[in-house]
């Protein structure tokens, strides 16, 4: 799986003088949006809490008070819950089974709650912690670390744009969508019986009369394989093809980054959900 599809390159933690050391590891499990399990090259394992960021809870109660401006209402909580699930899906899409570099900050504690490592995760030249904040999947965790100024700047921009979790400041009680009528999305077909990995693809069309901002939307199958759209707008009447394999994203084609076919030949269900977790298009075949 290619973790760099649509990735945003944040400030390089390698150039920060307070970075004390780094180590290369394999991500064995994505616990949620800000926590991963890893394996060292010697075969031992550990758990990493991504330094400086916090995504909404997925295993317990969400806390609107921790996310500035999100109302403590049922709609606000439901929106945060969905945003947490989307952050987890995004982290899984970008990090699962990847070889990454952990980098430690001498201005921060080496380990946090429950003995978990605190580190930046560097993948394909990008600071994934910063990426989460810039895309609005996470807030900046109020703590001491050398990259805090750049992280807070990214958070402010994400808040202004109401990206992902920050869309929960004004939760929509209907479908949680923004930036166009998401109900106009349709899944036209799934080409499961493909001749090559990238020939296995899904066609999604905007049947409406206005563009739809798909940032944070996800396409998934029944087994939990998913693709999260990032900084992508689908024009009125336009279609996008989501390929299973790897490639360069453009206005017509997006790539999930998997190394094997995921859509079952004998039947599956394709689902598109908004950043708030509302299903807006589905096709069973």
Assess whether 49 carries a catalytic annotation. Answer: yes
Contacting residues for 116 by C-beta, under 8 A, at least 6 apart: 35, 46, 47, 48, 49
Assess whether 135 carries a catalytic annotation. Answer: no
In angstroms, the CA 112 to CA 116 distance is 5
Assess whether 155 carries a catalytic annotation. Answer: no
49, 135, 139, 254: which is the annotated catalytic residue? 49
Q: What is the largest CA-CA distance in the chain?
A: 56
What letters, b where the CB count within 10 A reaches 16 and e where it falls short, cover 43-58?
eeebebbbbbbbbbeb
Beta-strand runs (E) in 128-260: 139-140, 185-191, 201-206, 212-213, 218-220, 226-228, 233-234, 239-243, 253-255
Residue 72: both structure tokens together: 């403590």
> Are 84 and 155 in contact, with CB atoms under 8 Å apart?
no
Contacting residues for 150 by C-beta, under 8 A, at least 6 apart: 10, 11, 130
DSSP codes joined into one string, 43-74? S-EEEEEETTEEPPPSSS---GGGSTT--SSH
57, 66, 222, 261: which is the annotated catalytic residue? 57
Q: Cα separations (Å) of 146 from 39, 80, 101, 107, 261?
A: 26, 28, 18, 6, 41
39, 66, 111, 116: which is the annotated catalytic residue? 116
The set of catalytic residues is 49, 57, 116
């Amino acid at each position: 799986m290619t973790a760099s599809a649509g990735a945003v390159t944040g400030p390089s933690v390698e150039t920060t003088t307070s970075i004390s050391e780094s180590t290369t590891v394999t991500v064995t499990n994505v616990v949620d949006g800000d926590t991963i399990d890893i394996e060292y090259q010697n075969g031992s394992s550990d758990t990493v809490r991504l330094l400086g960021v916090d995504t909404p809870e997925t295993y317990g109660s969400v806390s609107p008070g921790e996310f500035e401006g999100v109302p403590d209402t049922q709609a606000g909580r439901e929106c945060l819950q969905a945003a947490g699930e989307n952050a987890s899906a995004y982290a899984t899409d970008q990090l699962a089974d990847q070889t990454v570099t952990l980098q430690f900050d001498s201005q921060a504690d080496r380990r946090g709650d429950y003995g978990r490592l605190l580190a930046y995760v560097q993948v394909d030249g990008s600071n994934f912690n910063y990426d989460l904040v810039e895309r609005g999947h996470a807030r900046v965790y109020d703590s001491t670390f050398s990259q805090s100024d750049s992280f807070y700047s990214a958070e402010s921009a994400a808040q202004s744009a109401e990206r992902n979790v920050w869309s929960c400041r004004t939760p929509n009680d209907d479908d949680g969508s923004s930036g166009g009528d998401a109900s106009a999305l349709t899944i036209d077909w799934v080409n499961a019986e493909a001749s090559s990995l990238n020939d296995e693809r899904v066609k999604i069309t905007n049947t409406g009369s206005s563009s739809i901002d798909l940032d944070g939307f996800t396409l998934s199958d029944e087994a939990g394989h998913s693709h999260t759209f990032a900084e992508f707008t689908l024009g009125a009447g336009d279609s996008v093809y989501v390929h299973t394999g790897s490639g360069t994203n453009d206005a017509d084609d997006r790539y999930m980054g998997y190394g094997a076919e995921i859509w079952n030949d004998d039947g599956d269900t394709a689902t598109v959900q908004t950043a708030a977790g509302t299903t807006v298009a589905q096709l069973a075949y």
